[in-house]
Chain A
Amino acid sequence: MGSGSGVSCAVTLNTSLTPEQRALYQDVGQINHLLDSARTIALVGLSSDRQKASFFVAGYLKDEGYRIVPVNPKADIILGEKVYPDVASIPFPVDIVDIFRPAQEIDGIVDQAIARKEKGIDSPAIWMQLRLVNLAAAERSLAAGLTTIVDKCVKMEHGRYRGGLHFAGMNTEIISARKRKR
């Protein structure tokens, strides 16, 4: 899936986080491991509007073989999948809670994810999309033992290590002389 074994290049472009915050919330190895091991991704704030960024991301993740779980209080079915009103009401384990809501709403979403872990339902990673940054919520999520990624796009990160992002002319910042994994 990734690019060779153990990519260890600095990925520093297009983030508002400091180097210290990047070390906590944008670790290259952790992102790779998460995208390799995750199967079910809840998308909080997934829009039913075909031209919204969240719709692009969800369609892509579905194409790439992930089970997507739309979370949106105002829809029933998106991309053929049943929609849940909030994170607490998803009745099965999820691996990643991918957040497309404004920073002020992230606290409540993270609380629900932490509660899921306390109840033994699952232990989902928290993923805040590009520019949707709530560092207080990220600290709580990390302290609760949840893998936490901040200010990154899950589609772009998947594309970065799978090679797709590169075909769009983007700077993946990956430097490696090793063969890509099949």
Chain B
Amino acid sequence: MTHRPGPRKFGFETRMVHAGHVPDAHTGSRAVPIHLTTSYVFDSPEYAAQLFELKQYGNIYTRISNPTTAVLEERLASLEGATGALVVSSGMAAQFVALMTLLSPGDEVVASSHLYGGTVTQLKQTLLKLSIKVTLVDPHNDAAWEQAITKKTRALYGETIGNPRGSVLDLEKLSRLANVHKIPLIVDNTFATPYLCRPIEWGATIVLHSATKFIGGHGSAIAGVILDSGNFDFSRFPAIAAPSPSYHNLRFFDTFGHYGFLMKARAETVRDVGACVSPMNSFLILQGLETLSLRMDRHVGNAQQIARYLEQHEQVAWVSYAGLPSHADHALAQKYLPKGPGAVFSFGLKGEGAEVREDGKKFIESLQLFSHLANVGDVRSLVIHPASTTHQQLTEEELAACGVGPEMIRLSIGLENVEDLLWDLDQAFHALSRSIRA
């Protein structure tokens, strides 16, 4: 068979280990070099001026860009199918930078209510200080999204897999709605990772991640990323299209086209907010990213088995994992996350009120392998009681809206031997039933 070699569109796993890093001409270093430097010597005064005017490509200061971070940026952009990326100091910084780049005082955002608690406080409290109003809606209520959108709405916002109930965002439906209103859809894809779901393929404009989670995997470095599809027409979107007073009246969309939003986010927002990532952390996240597909296959495999075990357990009231046919979003999960809906989900112990809250504490204290801490997406299995920790700043109504009750326990399933994890849960249930009898 003769085969004429044409340009090749390389697969996900190939891009996971190669994208964004071509060995440099001088050293040929195969591993990604760590550029621990704050600043970069200019070729000439004229060249420096060109760099500051954004007319020449290159590095000025690590708050704006860094060669190690650039590898992580391009690799993540490649894996998400984005036109580019901006890596910042954390997932929360990524949200804030994306929104600060898009919004002005008086603007509004409509967001799913199924969000990480920290995101809810950033959207509802911190943005309020900047006169930005965020309306939270039930993500599955089409009419609620529609009704919440006003003339001032500048973006729709949601999580691919909602924290902590594991609900699945209907990406195609929301991107259609965003298109009708000519506003971008912003999707936090942290729980899915680009291996399980790529929101840009379903019409999202901007994708965010806490790279601290599955992308890094090791739980040793914090970082966040903003990715742009490059497909949104910002020509009538004031924050990106209008002349920028902090850049000699530069019109970012006019000059940089499909890269206008990210250039503004980098050259203005991060320049002024200062939420830059350490090059060391970029390197650490890259080490994890190289094995993402292998880890995610194992994460979702383990999660599916554990969710099934819990669903059949007599001490469990409910399990909220979209991989189970009993989950309301099972069909959405099969559509958007065919490899599996992640490895973070929650379940409820039987019981009510203060009693079940105590049971939850006792259960967590009895676990031997699950680490009790406030993170997800680690190679190790993790457990937390959201009502008293990650979501504790929320009001009763907000807790109810995102479905966080005192009986809820959130798990992040790691890469351990699944039989060992099942053993651990089993012995914790035994400890619980002993204490109930006693």
Contact = CB atoms under 8 A, between A and B. Distances in A.
Interface of A: 3-4, 8-14, 28, 50-53, 56, 59-60, 63, 130-131, 153, 159, 163-182
Interface in B369-418: none
Interface stretch (B50-58, B105-113, B349-357): B50-58
A159 B73 CA distance: 16
A8 B77 contact: no
B65 to A, nearest CB: 6
What are the 9 closest A-B residue pairs judged by CB atoms, nearest first?
A164-B57, A171-B77, A10-B9, A170-B84, A169-B73, A182-B25, A10-B7, A180-B25, A53-B255
Interface string B232-264: 000000000001000011110011111100110
A110 to B, nearest CB: 23
B84 A179 contact: no
Nearest to B23: A179
Nearest to B20: A166
Contacts of B78: 171, 173
Contacts of A170: 74, 77, 83-84, 259, 262
Contacts of B266: 168-169
B151 interface: no
Contact of B8 (A8, A14, A131, A163): A8
Contact of A169 (B26, B65, B248): B65
Given A169-B86, A171-B77, A171-B83, A14 B230 contact: yes
A171 B50 CA distance: 22
Most interface-central of B7, B55, B243, B250 (chain A CB within 10 A): B7
Given A51-B250, A56-B54, A167-B59, 5 more contacts: A10-B9, A164-B56, A166-B20, A171-B19, A175-B10
Interface string B49-79: 0100011111100000101001001100110
Contact of B55 (A59, A163, A174): A59
A182 B27 CA distance: 11
13 contacts: A11-B7, A53-B255, A56-B54, A60-B57, A63-B47, A63-B55, A63-B56, A164-B56, A169-B74, A170-B84, A171-B77, A179-B28, A182-B26
Interface of B: 5-10, 14-15, 18-20, 22-26, 28, 47, 50, 54-59, 65, 67, 70, 73-74, 77-78, 81-87, 230, 243, 248-251, 254-259, 262-263, 266
B57 A159 contact: yes
B245 to A, nearest CB: 12
A37 to B, nearest CB: 20
A14 B83 contact: yes
A132 to B, nearest CB: 11
A30 B249 CA distance: 36
Contacts of B7: 8-11, 28
Most interface-central of A168, A169, A178, A180 (chain B CB within 10 A): A169
For the residues of A in contact with B, the DSSP-based class is loop
A153 B9 contact: no
B57 A169 contact: no
A177 B23 contact: yes
Contact of B85 (A171, A176, A178): A171
Given A14-B83, A181-B25, A9 B10 contact: yes
Contacts of A50: 248
A51 B251 contact: yes
Contacts, number: 128
A180 B84 contact: no
A168 B257 contact: no
Contacts of B77: 169-171
Contacts of B85: 169, 171
Nearest to B250: A51
B212 to A, nearest CB: 19
Contacts of A28: 7
A68 to B, nearest CB: 13
Contacts of A167: 57-59, 65, 67, 70
A8 B4 CA distance: 12
A130 B257 contact: yes
B402 to A, nearest CB: 33
Given A63-B50, A169-B84, A175 B19 contact: yes
Contact of B57 (A12, A51, A168, A173): A168
A14 B229 CA distance: 9
A8 B86 contact: no
A93 B164 CA distance: 65
Contacts of B14: 175
A175 B18 contact: yes
Contacts of B10: 9-10, 175
B257 A131 contact: yes
Contacts of A52: 254-255
Contacts of A10: 7-10
Given A10-B9, A14-B83, A51-B250, A165 B23 contact: no
Contacts of B24: 179-180
A168 to B, nearest CB: 6
Nearest to A55: B55
B141 to A, nearest CB: 34
Contacts of B15: 175
Nearest to A26: B7
Contacts of A169: 65, 70, 73-74, 77, 84-87, 262, 266
Nearest to B225: A169
Nearest to A170: B84
B230 A166 contact: no
A168 B55 contact: no
Nearest to B70: A167
Nearest to B10: A175
